[in-house]
Structure 1
Amino acid sequence: MPVLEISDLITAVDPRSGRRLPVSRGEVIRRLDEAGDARAARIVAGLPVDRDGLLDPCAVDSLLVGVHAELQRLSEELRIGDRLLHLLDPLFRAIRESSGPGPYRLVDVGCGLGYAVRWLAATHALGPDVELVGVDLDAALVAEADRLARAEALDCHFVHGNAFDLPEAATVYISTGVLHHFRGPALTEFFRSQAASPALAFCHFDIAATSLAPIGAWIFHRARMRHPLGRHDGVASARRAHSDETLLRAADVPGITPLLYEPRGAANPFCTTLRPIIGVRPQLEDPFRRSLGRAARRLFDADHLVGRSR
């Protein structure tokens, strides 16, 4: 049976216009029951609705903002900012070497409350020639991300919409905890959209599909998340994590060289929670490897991954 996340079901947005669509609580419960997830169905049954049985959008927004605030604390504990910078710093150095002076633009796809973008802005880690933009289809999350950035006086901004429909293209796309939301052909299309853009590279962190991931997610979210929805979706996310092979196949699109950093077979499963898939234009691969230095040994393409698994 498919593993579903409640947060994916209780909001619906037109991907082109960004317009909020009504969601029937009964329909969500039906889908969860069909997936054999009675616990998730009970959680949704407790959410408020109007007289037509449609979920109250204000209550849903408040709930999701609260859950994402707790997710931000997890990001802080997992040092997501440092992990991103470990790869983004050499990546932008390679871009400057091969493409000349900026300005450049980093776009965070599905930014949520914008923790990654705000961390990069607060640390000034990538330099003044990199514009920092967060994009999400959820208007409430974008509004809260923008409020937090203004309160912290950070030089970054957030956009409600589709990250691949921005008037100004990205130089580098990033995301954290987004890839597992795309299934089947949609995952390949996600990478194709980036390959079809003028972007030079992407760096997407997601849950590593290890045998310990669901257990670790249960322990971590039980200890850190207060709302049952956050606890449920944290474990569901780990169960939906893509294998290294799936990610490399999906990212193998024309014009992009896909690389995994510290794939499952090359890392300690007790320490590996997230790992990134990186895509670069072919002319950028050698400068990127040089910029990484000794850490380049942790990069694997599809051929090296297969060879290691034999």
Structure 2
Amino acid sequence: MQRLEISDLITAVDPHSGRRLPVRRAEAVRLLRESGDERAAGIVAGLPADEDGVLDPRAVDRLLISVHTELQRLSEELRMGERLVHLLGPLFTAIRETSGQPGPYRLVDVGCGLGYLVRWLAATDALGADVELVGVDLDAALVGEAGRLARAEGLDCRFVHGNAFDLPEAATVYVSTGVLHHFRGPALAEFFRAQAASPALAFCHFDIAATGLAPIGAWVFHRARMRHPLGRHDGVVSARRAHSDGTLLRAAAVPGIRPLLYEPRGAVNPFCTTLRPVLGVRPHLEAPLRRALGRAARRLVGPEHLAEAVR
């Protein structure tokens, strides 16, 4: 039976307006128990609720900000900023080469949380002054905290509460970290179709590599670094819900997009692999992207590579 992440159950928003919806604690507990996760049910049962049994939104916000602060530390340890730039630098080089027009170009981080990656990119200016940095999330509390941190750090970036695909200004490139495993079944392909239907030229989404060691590694890592039981629980469940390389490439194979996987599971050491990205580019960008990557382009494979590996 598929385990559920607590953080997905204790908040609810309208996907279009971003308006917060009430969450009944008993309903979240019921869903967790039906999934066979009594430990998670106990964690939620201990969260504060009002006399009608609705979870206290302010307490939930404080908890999620605390958990995401700890997740930021994990991103720092995993050097996610450098790993993102390793691909985004060549990607924007390819875009500049083929666009025929100067920037600004717009990078949109989908489900940005506290905006660590957007803030890191702004602080390091790693992508250049012609790349506008925008973080978007449906959780108003997380976006609010991301904006506060950016202002305190004096960073040139912005954060928006809402749907990343409903922004008034189109993205050039969509990115995310740790988001893909939240989409199940047809919703995963729909996520990629929304980007293909936009004017965006590419996407680059990092998520947990579905290796046999991933849940064990997640347990060790989150046990050592996360203090709240919710963070520890969801970290392990995330690893168990990770999509396979084939699932990601099939879902990303939408009209107008060339799907590519960087460092597929069979090409890397499972002891060292934590997160790896699936990319999608407009077909005319693949050749200049490979040129910009240089020798690293050998790690970039399409669906045909995985099909050959299965034979």
Give the TM interval when normalised to the shorter protein: over 0.9
Alpha-carbon separation, structure 2, partners of 1:156 and 1:3 = 36
Offset, 1:308: 2.4
Q: Report the secondary structure of 2:217's partner residue.
A: helix
Whether 1:166 and 2:167 are equivalent positions in the alignment is: yes
What code does the residue aligned with 1:252 have? A
Partner of 1:186: 187
Alpha-carbon separation, structure 2, partners of 1:156 and 1:52 = 40
Identity among equivalent pairs (%): 82
- Whether the aligned pair in 2 keeps the contact of 1:261 and 1:276 (CA below 8 Å) is yes
Instruction: Count residues in correspondence.
Output: 310
* Runs of 4+ with deviation above 3 angstroms: none
Partner of 1:49: 49
Alpha-carbon separation, structure 2, partners of 1:120 and 1:58 = 30
What code does the residue aligned with 1:95 have? I
Offset, 1:192: 0.1
Gapped regions of structure 1 (runs ≥ 5): none
Partner of 2:237: 236
What code does the residue aligned with 1:18 have? G
Alpha-carbon separation, structure 1, partners of 2:82 and 2:36 = 38
Any residues of structure 2 matched to 1:118-137 within 5 Å, and which?
118-137=119-138
Deviations 1:31-74 (A, max 9, x none): 00000000000000100000000000000000000000000000
Any residues of structure 2 matched to 1:191-206 within 5 Å, and which?
191-206=192-207
What code does the residue aligned with 1:92 have? F
- Whether the aligned pair in 2 keeps the contact of 1:105 and 1:171 (CA below 8 Å) is yes
Alpha-carbon separation, structure 1, partners of 2:310 and 2:122 = 39
What code does the residue aligned with 1:116 have? L
Offset, 1:307: 1.2
Alpha-carbon separation, structure 1, partners of 2:193 and 2:3 = 25
Q: Report the secondary structure of 2:175's partner residue.
A: strand
What code does the residue aligned with 1:139 have? A
When the two structures are superposed, what TM-score results if normalisation uses the length of structure 1? 0.99
Partner of 1:145: 146
Partner of 1:207: 208
Whether 1:177 and 2:178 are equivalent positions in the alignment is: yes
Whether 1:295 and 2:296 are equivalent positions in the alignment is: yes
Whether 1:21 and 2:21 are equivalent positions in the alignment is: yes
Offset, 1:102: 1.1
Offset, 1:162: 0.1
Offset, 1:113: 0.2
Alpha-carbon separation, structure 2, partners of 1:102 and 1:257 = 23
Deviations 1:220-248 (A, max 9, x none): 00000000000000000000000000000
Offset, 1:305: 1.5
When the two structures are superposed, what TM-score results if normalisation uses the length of structure 2? 0.99
Whether 1:285 and 2:283 are equivalent positions in the alignment is: no
Alpha-carbon separation, structure 2, partners of 1:300 and 1:308 = 11
Query: Cα RMSD (Å) of the superposition?
Result: 0.5
Partner of 2:61: 61
- Whether the aligned pair in 2 keeps the contact of 1:204 and 1:276 (CA below 8 Å) is yes
Partner of 2:218: 217
Alpha-carbon separation, structure 2, partners of 1:294 and 1:309 = 25
Alpha-carbon separation, structure 2, partners of 1:132 and 1:78 = 21
What code does the residue aligned with 2:206 have? F
Deviations 1:127-182 (A, max 9, x none): 11000000000000000000000000000000000000000000000000000000
Q: Report the secondary structure of 1:164's partner residue.
A: helix
Alpha-carbon separation, structure 2, partners of 1:256 and 1:231 = 36
Alpha-carbon separation, structure 2, partners of 1:306 and 1:4 = 31
Alpha-carbon separation, structure 2, partners of 1:45 and 1:3 = 17
Alpha-carbon separation, structure 1, partners of 2:208 and 2:160 = 25
Alpha-carbon separation, structure 2, partners of 1:68 and 1:123 = 21
